[in-house]
Amino acid sequence: MRFRGRGRSGGSEAPAAPPPAEPAGPPPALVIDALGRKCPIPIIMLADRIREVPVGEVIAVLADDAAARTDVPAWCRMKSQDFVREETLPQGGWGFHIRRTY
């Protein structure tokens, strides 16, 4: 069955893929690998290890539990730490970058 207005637009070109993401900023001072662990374990690991880096340095938490996408920024707000950014990992999951403020 053919619908009106949905014909080919004259070309079979695929849309251009976005360029690969460049890392935004310097590499983190500490990377916490919480891949495969359910929340709240990534938060517990972050809270336990944040004191290992100097104030002003960035920590990356790698997690693939969807709850971490809300839990990590919420933890940063509660603990007055700076949530820098979230990035999607090529192997699945996310990298959460947190700057230690105190």
- State the catalytic residues: 39
Give which of 76, 94, 82 is closest to 31, Cα–Cα. 94
Contact 97, 73 (CB under 8 A): no
Contact 24, 85 (CB under 8 A): yes
Residue 98: strand pairing partners: 59, 83
Contact 61, 46 (CB under 8 A): yes
